[in-house]
Every structure is written in C-alpha cells, then in structure tokens.
Amino acid sequence: MAYIGQKGGIAMESRGKRLALGTAAAAIAIVGGAALAQSWNRQAAGQAHASFVTQGSGESYGYMMGGSAAPGWEQGGSLPGYMMGGSGSPGEIMGRQFANGPGPRISSSAASTAAQAVPSGARIDRARRTVTFSTTQVHLNVVATMTGSTDGFEVAGMSNPSIVVPRNSTLEISFVNADQDMAHGLAIVPQGAGNSEVPMMTAGPAFTGAAVWFLGDATASSAPEQTISFSADHVGTYQYICPVPGHALAGMQGELIVS
C-alpha cells in the first residue's frame, strides 16, 4: 500500500485541522492490481498478540493497535510505508478505525482529572505557561482533547505548555486521547519537525521510545491511554507534537526543554 498525498491539496476545515486532501489523497491505495492482502503478526511472551489484515476494497481488522500489545512502529519505531486514510480527514478516519482497539482505557472522568492534575515535583507558572521539574524522575499526564473549537494538549490544566526537565531525566508520560471523533498521538521530536504536514512519515522521535503515533477515538465513557517512558539524555529544545497529518501545523505542539 502507499500513502497518496499532495502538498498543494491540503486545506484546513472549520475545526482547525480537519484536512481535505482531495478524493485520492490520504487513501489506502491498492498496489499492483485489484487487491493486495497485507498482514503482520507481533509475538510477545511466546504468544501472537496481533494480526492486521487489509484485503481488496474492504477492510478487515483482526487487531486494532493500542496498549502494550501494539506493534513497535506505534511505540516510536519505524513506520510502515502506508497509512490509512480516505477522501476526508485522515485523523477522523484513523480515529474511527482504531476506536475499539485493545489496550488500556480510562474513564472519561479520569481523563478530565488527568488533564488538570499538577504533576509531583513540578513548579507551575500559569502566566508563562510552563511546567518545570527539579527532579529527574518525571511523571506527567498529557491529554489530547478539544478545547473550544480547536484541539490541543492539556497538561496541568494548561494548553500546550512548555515543559522543562533536567538532563538525564527519566520521563514517564501517560498519554490519553480524550477526543471522541479524532485520532491523536504524541511524539517528542527535534525542533522544527512539527512543521511537516505529515510528521508521522517524516519525523522520528528525538529519544528512543518517545512516541505514541496515534490512538483511536474516545467514547462517551472511556478514552484510550498509553504510557511511554524514555530518557531525556541530550540538552536542547525539542517539540512535543501530535504526529497525525496536519495536527501539529494546526497548533498541537509545545516545547520540551532539557536543561
């Protein structure tokens, strides 16, 4: 399969990043004729955890990625050379297709609490919109949600704040997608990588394991959650972004500063 996209065809819709990529853009293309069947299996602890199959013009999803059984590419590894999509917004389509994926989920009320929670060991400056840690063990909630007419990341009750951590910190980030009609992800990338229209395909994580490429839609009662852990072992200014096509450009990004 191949992701079909055209830079000039991207147009932002009313929600800020509802992408209209044209009838062919963001499509699942059938390569080499009438049908292509593709599947992979992931094994962990000696058991097969996942199988994903697409065939012909219809899709059959034996496994929806998410949680601890997710394939490596969803947890910051190399992405496959295809991306699901259609004639509408890739984020909407991806969100629907993976809405019922296995893996951890939390209640809607717990997601709201997580978005407001002040992390232990952090100093909050709401005027400057910063979350500054003095400890090297960092535990943080990042919740993708809709605020007003736009989507963003909620951290300690702030939208897209700057996060400052000491060098050689170990970060454990609980990422929650609380959006009920849009896929969202979280990736820590080099500064400037969020300027890509399709960062899922062009931006690798700045630190090993520092990415959840996307989670499917939340429901009225629960939201998918995944925890990533990585070592921030290089001083610098990085971005945390939503790598779903168009989302970082529409404003789903903030700074991670390793000092």
pLDDT of amino acid 93: 84
Handedness of CA 101, 40, 29, 201 (dihedral sign): positive
Q: Where are the domains of the chain?
A: 7-97, 105-258
The torsion angles phi and psi of 23, rounded to 5 degrees, stand at -65, -25
pLDDT of residue 211: 94
For the whole model, what pTM was predicted? 0.69
Hey, what are 100's tokens?
A: 């019922």
For residue 209, what pLDDT is reported?
94
For residue 90, the model assigns a pLDDT of 79
Q: In Å, how far from its chain's centre is CA 157? A: 19
Looking at residue 71, what is its pLDDT?
Answer: 53
Distance CA 85, CA 102 (A): 21
Q: State the pLDDT at residue 80.
A: 46
pLDDT confidence of residue 183: 94
Running along the chain, 259 residues long, what does each successive block of 10 average in pLDDT? 30 36 27 24 27 34 45 50 50 87 92 96 97 96 79 93 97 97 94 83 88 94 96 96 90 95
Report how far residue 32's alpha carbon sits from residue 15's, in angstroms, rounded to the nearest whole number: 36
Over the chain, what HEC string results? CCECCCHHHCEECCCCCCEECCCCCCCECCCCCCCCCEEEEEEECCEEEEEEEEECCEEECCCCCCHHHCCHHHHCCCCCCCCCCCCCCHHHHHHHHCCCCCCCEEEHHHHHHHHHCCCCCEEEECCCCEEEECCCEEEEEEEEEEECCEEEEEECCEECCEEEECCCEEEEEEEEECCCCCCEEEEEEECCHHHCCCHHHHCCCCCCCCEEEEECCCCCCEEEEEEEEEEECCCEEEEEECCCCCCCCCCCEEEEEEC
Query: 105-258: what CATH class?
Result: mainly beta
